[in-house]
Amino acid sequence: MSETVVWRHPKPKGVAGRCIGQTDVPVDPRKAKRLAHRVRALARREGRAREVWTSPLRRGADVGRWLVRWGWTHHVDIRLAELDFGTWDGRTWGTVDAAAVDAWCADFAEHAPGGGESVSGLMARCAAFLHDHPDALVVGHGGWINAASRVVRGLPPPASAAEWPAACGYGVAWRASSSRGAESQ
């Protein structure tokens, strides 16, 4: 049985009230190290290869850099990046035009918020990564995990924002199994 395990990155610094997709924000090095220990422990417990995949964004890649210090291989893959919010990225939500947010919510699957990327596009990236790496250890992002969960369960892109769950907690692991579908840990 193949199974990809994805941990959501540690909580980043300075993001409260901001639209954060591909904005590169730092995480506390101690939190990155703590999550790296958890990834390493699972790999030992389950006899996994000492290999981790992350997006290029620091909040995931910093965990990969800790693992490299302990002899791991760290792969960076742009397909693991969070949703691109275009011109909204990094701004406070209060500065994003409410009508623009409504337009996104009205066509949640296909509208590209801030001219960035649609949820359908994010799901296509997730599907491609999971196809290429069905047995990987990954440090990723909340939106990516939501999209991948839909992909694994064979669900289409969500028609409305109401179908998109809140992101899982920071440091929480999610498992995508080729034989069982998706589950949270």
Residues 93-135 pLDDT 10s:
999 999 999 999 999 999 999 999 999 999 999 999 999 999 9
Instruction: Tell whether 46 is covered by a domain.
Output: yes
Q: Which structural domain, as residue segments, surrounds residue 13?
A: 8-131+154-169
Instruction: Tell whether 96 is covered by a domain.
Output: yes
Instruction: Tell whether 146 is covered by a domain.
Output: no
- For the chain, how many helices (H) and strands (E)? 5, 6
Instruction: Tell whether 23 is covered by a domain.
Output: yes
57, HSE (Cβ side, Cα atoms, 13 Å):
28
Residues 49-80 pLDDT 10s:
999 999 999 999 999 999 999 999 999 999 99
Report d(CA 81, CA 125) in Å as an integer.
9
* CA max distance for the chain: 50
Q: 57, 51 in Cβ contact below 8 A?
A: no
Instruction: Tell whether 2 is covered by a domain.
Output: no
| CATH number, domain with residue 78 | 3.40.50.1240
Q: 65, 163 in Cβ contact below 8 A?
A: no
Instruction: Tell whether 144 is covered by a domain.
Output: no
Domain count, the chain: 1
Instruction: Tell whether 181 is covered by a domain.
Output: no
Residues 130-176 pLDDT 10s:
999 999 999 999 999 999 999 999 999 999 999 999 999 999 999 98
Report d(CA 129, CA 60) in Å as an integer.
16
Whole-model pTM: value is 0.93
151, HSE (Cβ side, Cα atoms, 13 Å):
25
Q: 36, 63 in Cβ contact below 8 A?
A: yes
Instruction: Tell whether 141 is covered by a domain.
Output: no
